[in-house]
Amino acid sequence: MEKITYASLGSLGEEFHSQFDAALSKLTRTFGKTHSLLIDGKLEKGKETFGDISPSDTRVVLGNFPLATVDDVMKAIAAAKRAYPPWRDLDWQKRVALLRRAADLMMQRQFELAAILTLEVGKNRFEAIAEVSEAIDLILYYAQQMENNDGYNIPLVTTGAEQTRSVLKPFGVWAVVSPFNFPLALATGMAAGALLSGNTVVFKPASDTPWSGVGLATVMHDAGLPAGVFNLVTGSGAVVGETLLTNGDLDGFVFTGSREVGLKVLRDFSARSPKPRITEMGGKNPTIVMPSASLEDAAEGIVRSAFGMGGQKCSACSRLYAHADIYDALAEMMVPKTKKLKIGDPRERDTFLGPLINERAVKTFNSAVQLGRTEGRVLCGGNVLQDGARAHGYFVEPTIIDALPQDSRMFQEEFFVPLLSMAKVHSLDEAIRLANDVEYGLTSGIFTNDETEHAQFFNEIEAGVTYCNRRGGATTGAWPGVQSFGGWKASGSSGKSALGPYYVSQFMREQSQTIVYKR
Ligand code: SIN
């Protein structure tokens, strides 16, 4: 079957569904299996394991995964250090070829990888297959960047007998630490950036998504990456994450996840000497709707963006500033659309919204809704769902809240649950001022058909990823090579975005080379 993209999602037919269902059945037969670490090219059982619990039904153990110890992490780092010199010295074209082979394998395994995402994260099948396609495209796009930049080795100005070049070179061994929400695509993108540019990798997946991590490690191993170039250590943040952060033996750290952990990485990783850290953190992403907008497009784009994957995207829209002239009409369109979303078992083909990732997320949902009820008014949703087949999972209703005071925490804090707070504004100036009045700056959207408002929005909004009139997702749905994806302010540290043309070069340091030839 052809590679699936966001554009082709709407036209997926029976062949897609039957292959996806077959992959689900195959994986169901493996439930409870014990998986391994990948260290120095070898699969290693852990001394202890932890259960990967299905968020759709907490009675189901999807698999058991090693709880890596400090010793395991140190072994993985040592293996990555040994593997580094030959990997660095390999022609970059050969590294590109190996990573392209990994992309081919992902393509061959796309249904199995997507089914893991549905079972482990609770993504609906369309979101799951799209994530696998994104992971493939991340490798291909970053590989293309190596080619476009001739391996980042370019001549500088030659004067007389002096010949000079600028060469970007890898740093060494990188920790790659990925979040639960895009466990395959984000891990693949970060690892591919590091590997293509000649670094080796020790990879820790989020504790909630070790299976997706094993899926990626297996692809890298089977693609023929030399032993030690890509190592997998599953386990806890307290042991694995902390050891990666503080052992002092790594050369770079790339992280996507919460602001709290991202700031810790920025603070602790280079406490002893300067070292590169790339951190992509959260967002509190606003959408603005002005009177000239198509309200149907706005309602659709906002609902998709706020509630797709249960608001558990860094890019999810969680604040809406709608002009007073269209505020009520927009709310009247959004509420029925939200109520119609099918919430339930993500394995079913017509489910839109699966479960939240874990119990902590449900607690966050409950306390944020409680705050919303106290300070404002719940327009729809607000409940945890525990009926019938949803009795044993983390299912909640997508929720819209309005009539909040302007300084409510609901407009400031990232909750990472399906919760949208809306407020009335009277001008674009006011909307942009409120949109910018947060610590985060990841994604932002606007709906307006007035071109001067497009220009003002793009000029004044403080966010790394911006969209105008996007029915497919007001603030979500970036794609490699199409939309760069990176945060400003507290949402990101490097000012260079993933999915974009400047990403790979961040994993390298510049050397200027001058040769003087005798005349
Ligand atoms: C994310 O990384 O959380 C989502 C990416 C996107 O929706 O653009």
Residue that the structure tokens 């693949």 belong to = 188
Q: Is 123 in the pocket of ligand 1 (CB under 6 A)?
A: no
Q: Is 285 in the pocket of ligand 1 (CB under 6 A)?
A: no
- Nearest by Cα to 243 from 157, 175, 311: 175
Q: Is 334 in the pocket of ligand 1 (CB under 6 A)?
A: no
Count CA atoms within 13 Å of residue 161 on its CB side: 4
User: pLDDT tens digit string along 288-338?
Assistant: 999 999 999 999 999 999 999 999 999 999 999 999 999 999 999 999 999
Q: How far apart are the CA of 305 and the centre of ligand 1, in A? A: 10
Q: Rounded CA gap, 328 and 402, in Å?
A: 11
Do 13-281+496-513 and 285-479 share a fold?
no
Mean pLDDT of the chain: 96
Q: Is the pLDDT of residue 49 over 80?
A: yes
Q: Rounded CA gap, 240 and 233, in Å?
A: 7
Q: How far apart are the CA of 131 and the centre of ligand 1, in A? A: 10
What share of residues in the chain are helix, strand, coil (percent, to 5)? 40, 20, 35
What tokens appear for 140 in the block?
Answer: 């291909």
Q: Is 353 in the pocket of ligand 1 (CB under 6 A)?
A: no
Q: Is 477 in the pocket of ligand 1 (CB under 6 A)?
A: yes
Whole-number pLDDT of residue 272: 86
Q: Is the pLDDT of residue 146 over 90?
A: yes
User: pLDDT tens digit string along 327-354?
Assistant: 999 999 999 999 999 999 999 999 999 9
Angle, CA 1 vertex, CA 33 and CA 182 arms, to 5°: 50
Whole-number pLDDT of residue 519: 72
User: pLDDT tens digit string along 397-406?
Assistant: 999 999 999 9
Whole-number pLDDT of residue 326: 98
Residue nearest to atom 2 of ligand 1 (CA): 314
Task: Provide the pLDDT confidence category of residue 426 given band limits of 50, 70 and 90.
Answer: very high
Q: Is 485 in the pocket of ligand 1 (CB under 6 A)?
A: yes
Q: Is 178 in the pocket of ligand 1 (CB under 6 A)?
A: no
Pocket test for ligand 1, best of 180, 312, 315, 483 (most atoms within 8 A of CB): 315
Q: Which residues are CB-contacts of 160 (< 8 A; sequence separation ≥ 6)?
A: none
User: pLDDT tens digit string along 459-498?
Assistant: 999 999 999 999 999 999 999 999 999 999 999 999 999 9
Q: How far apart are the CA of 24 and the centre of ligand 1, in A? A: 25
Q: To the nearest whole percent, how much of the chain has pLDDT over 70?
A: 99
Is 1.10.340.30 the CATH number for 285-479?
A: no
Q: How far apart are the CA of 49 and the centre of ligand 1, in A? A: 30
Kindly state the average pLDDT of the residues 93-109.
98
Specify the ligand 1 atom closest to the Cα of 181. Answer: 3
Whole-number pLDDT of residue 5: 67
Pocket test for ligand 1, best of 131, 182, 497 (most atoms within 8 A of CB): 182
Domain ranges in the chain? 13-281+496-513, 285-479
User: pLDDT tens digit string along 68-84?
Assistant: 999 999 999 999 999 99
Residue 252 backbone phi and psi in degrees, to 5: -160, 160
Residues with active-site annotation: 280, 314
Is 3.40.50.720 the CATH number for 13-281+496-513?
A: no
Beta strands across the sheet bearing 317-323? 377-380, 399-402, 419-425, 317-323, 285-289, 443-447, 465-468
User: pLDDT tens digit string along 245-287?
Assistant: 998 899 999 999 999 999 999 999 998 899 999 999 999 999 9
